[in-house]
Amino acid sequence: MSKTIIIIGAGLAGLSAALQAAENGCNVKLVSSLPSERAQSVMAEGGINAALNTKDENDSPEEHFTDTIKAACGLADPNAVWGMTQAAPELVHWLLKLGVKFNMSGYDDVDLRNFGGQKKKRTAFAQSDTGKQIMTAMIDAVRRKEASGMVERFSHHSFLTLRLCGNICCGCVIRDEYSQETVELPGDAVIVASGGMHGLFGNTTGSLSNTGEVTAELFRLGVPLANGEMIQYHPTTVECGGKRMLISEAARGEGGRLFALRNNQPWYFMEEKYPELGNLMPRDITAREIWKVSHESEVFLDMTEISKEIISNKLSGLADDCIRISGRNRCLFCQESTTSWVVFLWMNSTERRFRIFMLPGNAVPNIMVQTVWVVIPCWAHCTEDVLRQSQPANKLTA
């Protein structure tokens, strides 16, 4: 008899879990407060890291592992990081087969870009809309499973609590957000993939619908939580319609340079202090350096040296967002940001070359969506029978 798996959340982690469970013969009940098209994963921009070595740099999963452990200051779980870096190339090829439209280099090689905290090009990307492209392919794949009866959707349903049979989880309770009807779902296992806890913060680039309520309810029930301090900082955002818009790290990966003014001359402080990686240092370090320098001068992100071709082929989403929020192709736009004041100054609207100015304004950190190349934590509470037959939930990665 097939098992029933309940999945809370229909973003990248939830859809991936649903596909894997369905392909292994389980009946899946997929619960989400919003349709997958509005999941936070859609907003992931930069890419997904994998040592594909399509740039002939002698890259390997082992080097990917070393860079990741170093960027994590030695705090990351080495077993989890090893599993992620070893599996990453195969996962990218799986996404390709699923229909993800990655940028390609040549006929069949995935194009790769530089990204923070790594010495070699290993970030596969789809222009600046990687999350949207991955989610589009996954949504289509899950719909095929729905059509075959393997996946049942519960959109516009919010998670209330787990059903407990003694100390064993045997399902969950959800609520229809339209009718307010409470529904009990029995199941052999519950996987929670509800996304980030953005509701804990007044300032965030993450979706406002990711309140952290699911995690809070699990904690109330006694589920242990770990690594709550490891929430990702992002150094560059701009306020847009009461929300924070991310200036993707891809902007620096493609040649954007942070600088400040010293004696009225550009001072590329990241390149001076960190000559090996410069503007591609990990985000926590970059955010701290921007904050330090901001006491002396405004901080700028110079993208004027990025070519029209790169803007069009690799950063078009970011460029379009800048046009959208400004309302015109040539603009001077200023708003208070989460940690910065930002001005978009289009130097040449024909070639879409621009410079972004940032001045950190307060010490309140902003957080960014947990992006697609990071291991996404899931909590699974199974019956003793399922636990004997299944892998631990902390082996699930994205």
Residues with a known catalytic role: 283
Residue matched to tokens 């789809």: 126
97, 125, 284, 313 from 105: Cα distances, Å: 17, 11, 31, 12
Query: Where on the phi/psi map is residue 98: left (φ > 0), alpha (ψ -120 to 50), or beta?
Result: alpha
Which residues, at least 6 apart from 208, have a Cβ–Cβ distance to it below 8 Å? Answer: 198, 199, 243
**What is the distance in angstroms between the CA of the first residue and the CA of the last residue of the chain?**
28
The residues, ordered by sequence, that sit 6+ positions from 278 with a Cβ below 8 Å of its Cβ are 257, 268, 270, 271
Residue 315 in tokens: 């950063």
